[in-house]
């Protein structure tokens, strides 16, 4: 089988004696200070471009975040707001806020976990302990001012473009408060246990990438909002098992094949309180994944997605003036991936839009009537996102996988290009570049990382030249990882050829003191789901876990199977109606390649995955019994009928229409064939992949008298974010694998 292999240059000295190296432990990986260096989140340029603000974890407690700034002119980094200077005790989060943070994957964070700039650059707005605060950046004495004070929990605050008001959600209604006088008014009043105004529903937060349910108009006079009605969804009981109690939660969870919420799209005038409702058409079994105002503030766009997700329409409405106009329609035989690449131009009646109709996601310029003006990018590579538009110079900026699916780079293109296949790459360093541009697309913040370099934050001009380091994060001196750097193992990237000739990208880390004459056990770290790649040249806490396993004597291996993003639509579409099948074929190609390597012990290969990765691990054990020595599944899906509508139906259709697909994709269908050692782990308060997924598997294995190891975590959600619990998870996993894969060393 043809193989292309690339060994990344290692920045670390590998020739030093390992005996003197400090031990990298699971406890240290999850302790403070963060081994990867300063914990930076939400880096944003101010509207004026004169400073970069970001959230930073504390040295002594990396999960408590404060608000910081880097000032461009004086080159100084300074603390703006410490959370405990504003509120001594945050108190208990509301159920809605706990759920929202779980959806946003920030459930383990405290302090200031989000913030926003006002459009005029005067205020920084942030919620804390259920109330809303602002910091006036133009005042001589920068004092934090409290905007709301209520017994209720205020969420999702958004400041008006003119900086005079803030809108937020309280008790499932949309509210308004003045910045200067803090006068409050409810803009909607019918919110109750089934009606919510301005809130993003569960499906929107978890699966559609939409975290809000309301949008300010550019002129600050009106707010568009979604009113959701959850009454079509049946109430079900979900159990949250704590150490000493069991809570039964009534939840309207949209299981696949069952009803969703219904929508109304309204536009409320903040002066009069009057609401105009937009005609959404006769079909109410739909999704509204995106809403955006046009620059004139008079027209509102929204996207209408069919229940089967094979049709996506872009519509433009004039509130109060008849039916919306369908401007653009996308169709697919499988599914359409949502995006955030819609950008309406201010200087001409046109908009930028991304589409995968060519087989790869690319950018296009359309007139407001939906007529294609020109393609802006083209080629056998995928655009990740539109990052910025400079209308004055006629340039767009975007990130893409043009170099490789495992790298992410920033590019530039002209709005009047006649050669869309020719683009200019701005970022140069091999690795992963996450970009946030200013409003004019003249400067940007670049978060760069690779498997050799923890995240670095730098300010760049639009041509790519670095203006300043914000956080250079060199692994030297007193950097937390400096004492472990000599033991850091290089990552090797390569490609295997899949069944249809497409490349299957993999990464491999060889163990410490690697001897090619020896045979080593393997730690297969997998995910496999359509929305996330593991094989990237980037840094994450996952890298530290894999480095730990390599130090424990394992070959660490990951492979991205068909169905995963960033390799074109055909690569993804192979998974349509075949979840739990296509991944197995490709992962077995990786397994066969591993077995062919002289340094791998084919009898000591273990597989590990979390969430979708746990599902793939179970399917590998169940569909290919005897091929692996052990498997670890954390919070796995077992029966897709227990998962939600938008995610599951996108790839599998409904259980009513595709019963055979659901049967073939069900772990329980094959569970009686499991014969290899299994460690099953599940948090007992999981509201994403419900604990029921694992209890069904437990019962099936018990009825088949199949032994397995089990660990459960009372009170923990899907991420098992509790500090000691997170450590316990990985110590349990490593002890299990050591016991099974390295029995003679224990």
Q: Find the CATH number of the domain harbouring 538.
A: 3.40.50.1820
What does the pLDDT read at residue 72?
Answer: 84
Cα separation, 353 vs 344, in Å, equals: 9
| Residue 424 reports pLDDT greater than 50 | yes
| Residue 14 reports pLDDT greater than 50 | no
What does the pLDDT read at residue 107?
Answer: 74
Axis crossing angle, helix 582-595 with helix 612-623, rounded to the nearest 10? 70
Q: How confident is the model at residue 358 (pLDDT cuts 50, 70, 90)?
A: very high
Residue 594 phi, psi dihedral angles, 5° rounding: -55, -45
What does the pLDDT read at residue 218?
Answer: 96
Q: Is residue 449 part of a domain?
A: no
Structural element, H or E, at residue 229? strand 222-229
Cα dihedral 701, 705, 711, 717, rounded to 10, equals 20
Q: Is residue 176 part of a domain?
A: no
Chain-centre distance of CA 484, in angstroms?
Answer: 29
Of 9, 11, 5, 23, the closest CA to residue 512 belongs to 23
| Residue 4 reports pLDDT greater than 60 | no
Contact residues for 663 (Cβ-Cβ < 8 A; gap 6+): 669
What sign does the dihedral 374-380-381-382 (CA atoms) show? positive
Cα separation, 185 vs 189, in Å, equals: 10
Phi-psi region of 303 (alpha: psi -120 to 50; beta: other; left: phi over 0): beta
Q: Is residue 389 part of a domain?
A: no
569-628 residue pLDDT tens: 999 999 999 999 999 999 999 999 999 999 999 999 999 999 999 999 999 999 999 999
Q: Is residue 656 part of a domain?
A: yes
Cross-strand pairs, 264: 227
Structural element, H or E, at residue 188? none
Integer CA distances (angstroms), 186 to 171, 177, 191, 197, in order: 10, 9, 11, 11
Of 126, 137, 66, 69, the closest CA to residue 445 belongs to 69
Cα separation, 610 vs 527, in Å, equals: 7
Long-range contacts of 68-72 (CB under 8 A, 24+ apart): 70/459, 70/468, 70/470, 72/459, 72/467, 72/468
Is the CB of residue 554 less than 8 Å from the CB of residue 523?
A: yes
| Residue 90 reports pLDDT greater than 80 | no
| Residue 440 reports pLDDT greater than 70 | yes
What does the pLDDT read at residue 745?
Answer: 64
What does the pLDDT read at residue 732?
Answer: 98
Is the CB of residue 137 less than 8 Å from the CB of residue 124?
A: yes
- DSSP code at position 199: P
Q: How confident is the model at residue 102 (pLDDT cuts 50, 70, 90)?
A: confident
B/e letters for 196-222, b = 16+ CB within 10 Å, e = fewer, are: bbbbbbbbbbbbbebebbbbbbbebbb
- DSSP code at position 688: T
Cα separation, 502 vs 724, in Å, equals: 42
Q: What is the DSSP string of 527-582?
A: ---TT--S--S---HHHHHHHHHHHTTPEEEEE--TT-TTS-HHHHHTTTT-TTTH
| Residue 736 reports pLDDT greater than 60 | yes
Chain-centre distance of CA 685, in angstroms?
Answer: 21
What does the pLDDT read at residue 93?
Answer: 78
- In the chain the first and final C-alpha atoms are separated, in Å, by 36
What does the pLDDT read at residue 110?
Answer: 87
- Per-chain mean pLDDT for the chain: 93
Q: For residue 18, what are the domain limits?
A: 4-26+489-745
What does the pLDDT read at residue 19?
Answer: 46
Residue 343 phi, psi dihedral angles, 5° rounding: -140, 115
Burial of 145 (0-12, 13-18, 19+ CB in 10 A): middle
Q: Is residue 553 part of a domain?
A: yes
Residue 734: CB atoms within 10 Å: 19
Q: Is residue 337 part of a domain?
A: no
Low-confidence winner among 79-83, 353-357, 569-573, 629-633 (lowest mean pLDDT):
79-83
Q: How confident is the model at residue 16 (pLDDT cuts 50, 70, 90)?
A: very low
Structural element, H or E, at residue 195? strand 195-197
Percent of the chain with pLDDT over 90: 82
Q: Is residue 19 part of a domain?
A: yes
Helix locations, 4-135, DSSP H: 26-29, 83-86, 95-103
Integer CA distances (angstroms), 630 to 574, 603, 676, in order: 28, 10, 6
Q: How confident is the model at residue 711 (pLDDT cuts 50, 70, 90)?
A: very high
Number of structural domains in the chain: 1
What does the pLDDT read at residue 15?
Answer: 37
Q: What's the token pair of residue 541? A: 């806490």
Structural element, H or E, at residue 523? strand 520-525
Residues assigned a catalytic role: 611, 686, 718
Q: What is the mean pLDDT of residues 284-306?
A: 97
475-501 residue pLDDT tens: 999 999 999 999 999 999 999 999 989
Residue 732 phi, psi dihedral angles, 5° rounding: -65, -45
What does the pLDDT read at residue 6?
Answer: 40
What does the pLDDT read at residue 99?
Answer: 76
Q: Is residue 588 part of a domain?
A: yes
What does the pLDDT read at residue 20?
Answer: 58
Contact residues for 283 (Cβ-Cβ < 8 A; gap 6+): none
What does the pLDDT read at residue 1?
Answer: 37
- Indicate the pTM of the whole model: 0.93
What does the pLDDT read at residue 82?
Answer: 92
Q: What's the token pair of residue 180? A: 């200067």
Of 636, 650, 617, the closest CA to residue 688 belongs to 636
| Residue 655 reports pLDDT greater than 90 | yes
Q: What is the mean pLDDT of residues 360-370?
A: 97
Is the CB of residue 396 less than 8 Å from the CB of residue 388?
A: yes
């Amino acid at each position: 089988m043809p193989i292309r292999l690339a060994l990344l240059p290692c920045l670390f000295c590998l020739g030093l004696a390992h005996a003197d190296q400090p031990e990298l432990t699971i406890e240290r990986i999850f302790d403070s200070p963060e081994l990867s260096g300063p914990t930076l989140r939400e880096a944003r340029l101010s509207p004026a471009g004169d400073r970069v603000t970001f959230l930073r974890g504390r040295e002594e407690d990396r999960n408590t975040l404060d608000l910081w700034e880097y000032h461009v002119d004086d080159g100084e980094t300074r603390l703006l707001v410490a959370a405990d200077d504003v509120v001594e005790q945050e108190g208990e989060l509301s159920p809605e806020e706990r759920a929202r943070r779980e959806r946003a994957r920030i459930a383990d964070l405290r302090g200031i976990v989000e913030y926003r700039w006002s459009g005029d650059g005067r205020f920084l707005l942030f919620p804390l302990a259920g109330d809303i605060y602002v910091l006036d950046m133009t005042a001589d004495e920068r004092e934090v001012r409290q905007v709301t004070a209520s017994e209720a929990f205020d969420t999702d605050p958004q400041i008006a473009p003119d900086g005079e008001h803030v809108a937020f959600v309280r008790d499932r209604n949309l509210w308004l408060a003045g910045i200067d006088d803090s006068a409050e008014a409810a803009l909607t009043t019918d919110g109750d246990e089934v009606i919510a105004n301005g809130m993003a529903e569960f499906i929107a937060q978890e699966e559609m990438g939409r975290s809000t349910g309301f949008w300010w108009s550019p002129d600050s006079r009106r707010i568009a909002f979604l009113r959701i009605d959850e009454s079509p969804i049946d109430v079900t009981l979900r159990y949250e098992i704590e150490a000493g109690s069991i809570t039964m939660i009534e939840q309207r969870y949209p299981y696949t094949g069952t009803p969703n919420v219904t929508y109304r799209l309204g536009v409320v005038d903040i002066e009069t309180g009057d609401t105009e409702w937009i005609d959404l058409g006769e079909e109410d079994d739909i999704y509204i994944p995106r809403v955006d105002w046009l620059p004139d503030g008079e027209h509102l766009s929204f996207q209408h997605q069919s229940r089967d997700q094979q049709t996506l329409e872009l519509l433009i409405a004039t509130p109060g003036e008849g039916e919306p106009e369908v401007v653009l329609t996308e169709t697919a035989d499988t599914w359409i991936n949502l995006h955030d690449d819609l950008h309406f131009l201010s200087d001409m009646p046109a908009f930028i839009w991304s589409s995968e109709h060519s087989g790869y996601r690319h950018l296009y310029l359309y007139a407001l009537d939906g007529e294609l003006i020109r393609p802006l990018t083209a080629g056998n590579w995928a655009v990740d996102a539109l990052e910025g538009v400079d209308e004055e110079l006629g340039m767009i900026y975007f990130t893409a996988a043009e170099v490789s699916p495992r790298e992410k780079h920033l590019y530039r293109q002209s709005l009047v290009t006649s050669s869309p296949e020719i683009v200019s790459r701005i970022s140069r360093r091999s690795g992963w570049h996450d970009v946030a541009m200013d409003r004019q697309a003249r400067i940007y913040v670049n978060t760069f990382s690779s498997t050799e370099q923890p995240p670095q934050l730098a300010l760049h001009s639009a041509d790519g030249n670095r203006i300043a380091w914000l956080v250079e994060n060199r692994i030297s001196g007193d950097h937390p990882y400096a004492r472990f750097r000599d033991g850091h193992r290089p990552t090797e990237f390569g490609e295997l050829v899949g069944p249809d000739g497409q490349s299957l990208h993999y990464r491999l880390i060889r163990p410490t003191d690697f001897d090619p004459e020896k045979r080593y056990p393997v730690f297969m770290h997998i995910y496999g789901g359509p929305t996330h790649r593991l094989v990237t040249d980037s840094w994450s806490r996952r890298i530290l876990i894999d480095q730990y396993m390599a130090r424990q004597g394992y070959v660490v291996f990951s492979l991205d199977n068909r169905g995963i993003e960033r390799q074109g639509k055909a690569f993804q579409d192979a998974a349509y109606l075949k979840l739990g099948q296509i991944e197995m074929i490709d992962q077995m190609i990786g397994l066969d390649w591993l077995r062919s390597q002289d340094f791998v012990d084919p009898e000591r290969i273990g597989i590990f995955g979390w969430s979708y990765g746990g599902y793939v691990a179970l399917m590998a054990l169940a569909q290919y019994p005897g091929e692996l020595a052990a498997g670890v599944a954390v919070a796995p899906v077992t029966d897709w009928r227990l998962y939600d509508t938008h995610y599951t139906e996108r790839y599998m259709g409904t259980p009513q229409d595709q019963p055979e697909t659901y049967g073939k994709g069900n772990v329980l269908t094959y569970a009686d064939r499991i014969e290899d050692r299994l460690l099953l782990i599940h948090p007992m308060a999981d509201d994403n992949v419900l604990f029921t997924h694992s209890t069904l598997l437990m019962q099936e294995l018990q009825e088949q008298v199949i032994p397995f190891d089990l660990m459960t975590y009372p009170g923990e959600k899907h991420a098992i974010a509790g500090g000691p619990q997170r450590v316990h998870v990985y110590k349990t996993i490593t002890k299990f694998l050591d016991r099974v894969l390295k029995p003679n060393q224990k």
